[in-house]
Amino acid sequence: MAEWIDACATDDIEEEDVIRFDHGSRTFIIVRDHEENYYCTDGLCTHEDVHLADGLVVEATIECPKHSSIFDVTNGDVETPPACESLQRYPTRIEGGRVFVEI
Amino acid sequence: MTEIVIIGAGECGVRAAFSLREYGHDGAITLIGAESALPYERPPLSKAMDGTEKPIRPADAYDTAGIDLVLGTDVARIDPEARRVFLGNGVDLPYHMLLLATGARARLFPSLRGCLTLRTDSDAEAIMARLAPNTRIGIVGGGFIGLELAATARATGAKVTVVEAAPRLLARGVPTEIASIVEARHRTAGVEIRTGTGVSSATNRTITLADGETLTFDAVIAGVGSVPNTELAADAGLAVENGIRVDEWFRTSDQRIFAAGDCCSFVWRGTRVRLESWKAAQDQGAFVAAAMLGRTNDGGYRHVPWFWSDQYDQSLQVAGLFDADSPVQQRDAGQDKRIVFQCDAENVLVAAAGIGPGNSVSKDIRILEKLIERGARVDPSVLADPSLNLKRLLRAA
């Protein structure tokens, strides 16, 4: 059952950057884009299970640090292969300076 | 009459085929591969020992995209006048436009005949079958293939010797400051490295050095570069110059025939180059697909050459092309990492390389790559300063 989790403070993530967020046995990323929007997706690249948190965020995209797949974090879609599968995306909401994710 | 035929089903050909569809081509696409396996990724071949191939795309993706995949089939010749491709099995196909993505093959000098080489899944299988505890493995060539195989072989407990004629490892394209870390890591892992050591000949069991000494092994692997597959192009009368010669749109000397990936040479920032790189093969596949459809309005090819190598727990990445005769600068990247870069006389950033555990240097190298792509001018002393936030520099560029 998905539940809302308090993941981090909004300013734990720099503008156009990403943090890794582990919960239970699962790993996620939380991305802050260039316009103060926050997104949460699965944390591992769908190509070779590389942690995306080491990747570069440009606007609302993240690039895998290993093989350069680029994902649109607003919907999880692959923008540039080699990845073929989208990232699972999870809802986020901001409340009192905290980022909540529904995972 | 809009058939597009692609010869070569590696990273470049596959990317081009899917990109053609993505960019709206609705005519037939035929993708021809000489190997029989579903098109697969080559980078894992030097690293993984389980022998399972990683497909570039799942089998059903070709059907879904309407790409006619013809595997296990050689191409005998191209007739540019009749615009037909003649397959080894007797079939011939008409084309409206043709893409040569024929790749490269492992180089093997006559003096090295008998050595194992690595390019295909079956090559990898043959090599991995020889790796076992205490097996003596000789490797000719201290480049990426040789060194990645050395690391993989050590992981199995094999005894590994790497013989390199140049005074240092990775002499082609990787600065000394990075290569020395790679070398130290291999030595720590117990690999015997003999740089500055010429090889006069080698067989499947021996390496004979230039000074006459003969080393004996259980298997010998040669990793001494690759040769572009240009024969079809040359036979068809296309210009070949260290690879199939292409213009800024990756068009050959025939207006209906394009070439991209490892098989072609193209001009990058004023110099004709041929890259042997997984990323460039994909970038060029996507670019040439657009060019074939006449989508040339967003300028020429600008992707910065980029490659990576994983050895042991370390990963190194290189963006841009280093000039071996010019100095490099170092950016203080912390204790277990190293990042170097090179600017030209006008302070335009031209190349950057980094090494560190896992993916620890990836983000910085990616930012530097983007700065290179933008032709950014940077004060080298500022870039060397670790207090400079690279991301902010990129936003300002």
Is residue A69 situated within a structural domain? yes
Name the minimum distance, in Å, from the CA of A36 to any CA of chain B: 16
A16 touching B (Cβ < 8 Å): yes
Is residue B298 situated within a structural domain? no
Is residue A25 situated within a structural domain? yes
Distances (CA, A) of B144 to B117, B118, B172, B224, B386: 13, 11, 10, 9, 29
Residue contact A65–B363, C-beta within 8 A = yes
Residue B392: per-residue pLDDT: 85
Stretch B338-364: mean pLDDT: 95
Decide if pLDDT at A79 tops 80.
yes
- pLDDT tens track for A21-56: 999 999 999 999 999 999 999 999 999 999 999 999
- pLDDT tens track for B235-274: 999 999 999 999 999 999 999 999 999 999 999 998 999 9
Name the minimum distance, in Å, from the CA of A96 to any CA of chain B: 28
Is residue A21 situated within a structural domain? yes
Is residue B285 situated within a structural domain? yes
Residue B212: per-residue pLDDT: 95
Nearest residue of B to residue A62, measured between CA atoms: B363
B237 touching A (Cβ < 8 Å): no
Residue B268: per-residue pLDDT: 92
Q: Into how many domains does chain B fold?
A: 3
Indicate whether B196 and B65 sit together in one domain.
no
What CATH number is given to the structural domain containing B333?
A: 3.30.390.30
Query: Which chain B residues contact residue A82 at CB under 8 A?
Result: 41, 56, 282
Chain B contacts in chain A segment 42-101 (CB below 8 A): 50-51, 54-56, 63, 65-66, 68, 81-82, 84
Residue B51: per-residue pLDDT: 67
Residue contact A56–B282, C-beta within 8 A = no
Domain membership of residue B198 as a residue range: 110-222
**Chain A contact probe: residue of B47, B391, B393, B395 with most A CBs at under 10 A:** B391
Is residue A7 situated within a structural domain? no
Q: Which of B183, B202, B222 is the C-terminal boundary of a domain?
A: B222
- pLDDT tens track for B94-126: 999 999 999 999 999 999 999 999 999 999 999
Indicate whether B274 and B241 sit together in one domain.
yes
Distances (CA, A) of B260 to B8, B33, B144, B265, B281: 10, 15, 22, 8, 7
Q: Percent of chain B having pLDDT more than 90?
A: 90
What CATH number is given to the structural domain containing B256?
A: 3.50.50.60
Is residue B301 situated within a structural domain? no
Least CB–CB distance from A55: residue in B58, B279, B363 = B363
CB A21 within 8 A of CB A27: yes
Least CB–CB distance from A84: residue in B61, B366, B395 = B61
Q: How far apart are CA B308 and CA A89, in angstroms?
A: 29
Among the ranges given (A5-9, A87-91, B41-45, B332-336), the one the predictor scored with the smallest mean pLDDT:
B332-336
Name the minimum distance, in Å, from the CA of A16 to any CA of chain B: 9
What CATH number is given to the structural domain containing A44?
A: 2.102.10.10
Residue B158: per-residue pLDDT: 97
Question: How many A-B residue pairs are in contact by the CB < 8 A criterion?
Answer: 39
Indicate whether B16 and B154 sit together in one domain.
no
Indicate whether B130 and B269 sit together in one domain.
no
Is residue B305 situated within a structural domain? no
Decide if pLDDT at B296 tops 90.
no
Is residue A50 situated within a structural domain? yes
- The helix, strand and coil proportions of chain B, stated in percent and rounded to the nearest 5, come to 25, 30, 45
ipTM: 0.90
Is residue A103 situated within a structural domain? no
Chain A contacts in chain B segment 4-63 (CB below 8 A): 15, 18, 41, 56-58, 61
Is residue B369 situated within a structural domain? yes
Domain membership of residue A40 as a residue range: 14-95
Stretch B183-209: mean pLDDT: 97
Kindly give the pairing relationship between strand B226-228 and strand B104-106: antiparallel
- Quick one: angle between helices B144-155 and B176-188, nearest 10? 20
Is residue A56 situated within a structural domain? yes
pLDDT band (50, 70, 90) for residue B128: very high
Tokens of A84: 């073929």
Residue contact B360–A17, C-beta within 8 A = no
Indicate whether B128 and B51 sit together in one domain.
no
Indicate whether B56 and B153 sit together in one domain.
no
Q: Would you tell me how many other CB atoms lie within 10 Å of the CB of residue B282?
A: 26
Average pLDDT over chain B, rounded to whole?
95
Indicate whether B205 and B58 sit together in one domain.
no
Three-state secondary-structure class, residue A69: coil
Stretch A92-101: mean pLDDT: 96
Indicate whether B239 and B330 sit together in one domain.
no
Nearest residue of B to residue A55, measured between CA atoms: B363
Decide if pLDDT at B1 tops 60.
no
Q: Into how many domains does chain A fold?
A: 1
Residue B379: per-residue pLDDT: 92
